[in-house]
A = this chain, B = another copy of it.
Amino acid sequence: MTAVNLNIKKAYDSIESLSQATAWPGHVTPLSVPGNDNSEFWPNGFHAAGISAAIRYDKRDIMLLLSERPSAAAAVFTTNRCCAAPVLLSKRHLMQNGGYMRAVICNSGNANAATGPAGEADAAAMAAETAGLFGIDPEQVLVASTGVIGQPLPMRKILDAMQQLPKALASNSCFDAAEAIMTTDTFPKYLAIDVRLSGGTARISGIAKGSGMICPNMATMLAFLATDASVSPDLLQRLLSSANSCSFNAITVDGDTSTNDMVSILASGIGPVVEEGSEDEALFAEALEVIMTFLAKLIVVDGEGATKLVGIKVEGALSEADARLAASTIANSPLVKTALHGEDANWGRIIAAAGRSGAVFSQEEIEIRFDDLPILAKGFNAVFSEEDAALILKKPAYTITVSLGNGPGAATVWTCDLSKEYIEINGSYRS
């Protein structure tokens, strides 16, 4: 196995070892195996490619996902006021086409953000070139970029390299496509699942990138999904937004959000139908959440300098919103994250973060568990031995559960530890 494949294997193992990880639901079968570059990865009707334009990195850096026919499309975008040119363009294209698209084109190494009108023209040129190469309309193309902010795209390099795309589509490799959207990621992130529905089996496949700047509300992360299920654009958008709130919007690496975030899904409609309000809708929704959550966890595991994947579950909150507030504040606290790195059972930092989060509770009611090990009982009663706590804190993945004793609200946010490597990477990399 190569080093990259070892990284992938380790990441998948971490996620599987999360004691509170959801088992695969009965109607869902994971398809891709770590390190296995599966050319059968994409659903019926889709082809993908990753090629190199040498924009910034010595690796593939342009990804194309192409649908044989107009596909129902849905997407969620960054809420950052300084959003990038491709985000503006993709939003417009999605509106113009009533939710039907043919392709996603994405480059890494340059975000095409803070680039003004010239940047908007460059994003449009990427769409136009894709359209020209494959005989589709430019408005049927979603465009995404990730990388350094405030520098013009090297358009000559990009347009030249794009000429390789038609040929590269033949390999149809999930590995190539996932590699092409990476920036400081250390391994490509992809997963495909088969979903048994009443009308047959649908496939949902996705690739993602993250690393650094990851925080709820869409951080510098991209994910592109495709399915052969037949879903209306409206329903698809609702299902994507809902799954997004407890997957990509429930992870954090460093609390920074970016100018370029985007998660999209295309549904070719070649496969089984998902009717609104049917049981199939519930099955499809659950499967979509499962694949998106898995990809989201892969992003956390590969957070810059991260060595641990930690679920922060808050329960007993007044509401789900309150639970999410407390979980996010704990998950983003540098003092908590350095303690996770130091493998220190520092529950004081956890309650201090919960206390400043804005969530409503009485401090005497707080209880804390690491996996199934009680750490803090009500009345600030520390009930653990350092040895038992250390056994959990040394694991690559575990869950910290904080009970507020104040209601039915619950939410989980996934975070990683904060290490010196984070500083090393970000003190030098201009992103």
Q: Which residues of A line the B interface, CB within 8 A?
A: 79-83, 111, 113-116, 119, 148-150, 212-213, 217, 254-259, 332-335, 338-339, 341-342, 344, 346-349, 351-356, 359-361, 363-364, 366, 379-382, 418-420, 422-424, 426-428, 430-431
Whether the pair A428, B334 counts as a contact (CB closer than 8 A) is: no
Whether the pair B423, A423 counts as a contact (CB closer than 8 A) is: yes
In-complex Cβ contact of A356 among B80, B363, B379 (8 A): B80
- Minimum distance in angstroms from A383 CB to a CB of chain B: 12
- Minimum distance in angstroms from A236 CB to a CB of chain B: 27
- Minimum distance in angstroms from A267 CB to a CB of chain B: 30
10 interchain residue pairs of minimum CB distance = A149-B348, A82-B355, A342-B427, A338-B426, A80-B355, A81-B355, A420-B420, A114-B380, A257-B356, A82-B363
Whether the pair A334, B422 counts as a contact (CB closer than 8 A) is: yes
Whether the pair B423, A419 counts as a contact (CB closer than 8 A) is: yes
Whether the pair B80, A382 counts as a contact (CB closer than 8 A) is: no
Can you identify 30 A-B contacts, CB atoms within 8 angstroms?
A79-B356, A81-B355, A81-B356, A81-B359, A82-B352, A82-B363, A83-B363, A114-B380, A115-B380, A116-B380, A116-B381, A148-B348, A149-B352, A150-B351, A150-B380, A213-B352, A255-B255, A256-B333, A256-B352, A257-B352, A257-B356, A258-B352, A259-B351, A338-B422, A339-B426, A339-B430, A342-B427, A346-B431, A420-B423, A422-B423
- Minimum distance in angstroms from A310 CB to a CB of chain B: 15
* Contact A348/B431 with A114-B380, A356-B217 known, Cβ cut-off 8 Å: yes
Chain B residues within an 8 Å CB radius of A113: 348, 352
Chain B residues within an 8 Å CB radius of A342: 426-428
Whether the pair B427, A335 counts as a contact (CB closer than 8 A) is: no
Whether the pair B256, A334 counts as a contact (CB closer than 8 A) is: yes
In-complex Cβ contact of A424 among B150, B366, B420 (8 A): B420
Chain B residues within an 8 Å CB radius of A353: 256
In the assembly, what is the distance between CA of A261 and CA of B356, in Å?
12
Whether the pair A418, B428 counts as a contact (CB closer than 8 A) is: no
Taking the full assembly, how many copies of this chain does it contain?
A: 2
In the assembly, what is the distance between CA of A334 and CA of B418, in Å?
11
In the assembly, what is the distance between CA of A428 and CA of B427, in Å?
22
* Contact A351/B116 with A217-B356, A427-B341 known, Cβ cut-off 8 Å: no
Whether the pair B114, A82 counts as a contact (CB closer than 8 A) is: no
In-complex Cβ contact of A361 among B81, B115, B150, B359 (8 A): B81
Whether the pair B82, A351 counts as a contact (CB closer than 8 A) is: yes
Which residue among A116, A341, A380 has the maximum number of chain B CB atoms within 10 Å of its CB?
A: A380
In the assembly, what is the distance between CA of A254 and CA of B212, in Å?
17
Which residue among A217, A334, A344, A424 has the maximum number of chain B CB atoms within 10 Å of its CB?
A: A334
In-complex Cβ contact of A346 among B212, B332, B334, B430 (8 A): B430
- Minimum distance in angstroms from A420 CB to a CB of chain B: 4
Whether the pair B427, A116 counts as a contact (CB closer than 8 A) is: no
* Contact A348/B150 with A83-B355, A259-B355 known, Cβ cut-off 8 Å: yes
Report the nearest B residue to A342, measured CB to CB.
Answer: B427
Whether the pair A382, B150 counts as a contact (CB closer than 8 A) is: yes
Which residue among A344, A418, A423 has the maximum number of chain B CB atoms within 10 Å of its CB?
A: A423
Report the nearest B residue to A113, measured CB to CB.
Answer: B348
* Contact A348/B430 with A114-B380, A419-B423 known, Cβ cut-off 8 Å: yes
In the assembly, what is the distance between CA of A360 and CA of B344, in Å?
40
In the assembly, what is the distance between CA of A346 and CA of B426, in Å?
11
Known: A81-B355, A116-B364, A150-B351; 10 extra A-B contacts, CB below 8 A, are A83-B355, A114-B348, A116-B380, A149-B352, A255-B332, A335-B431, A342-B428, A344-B427, A344-B430, A348-B430
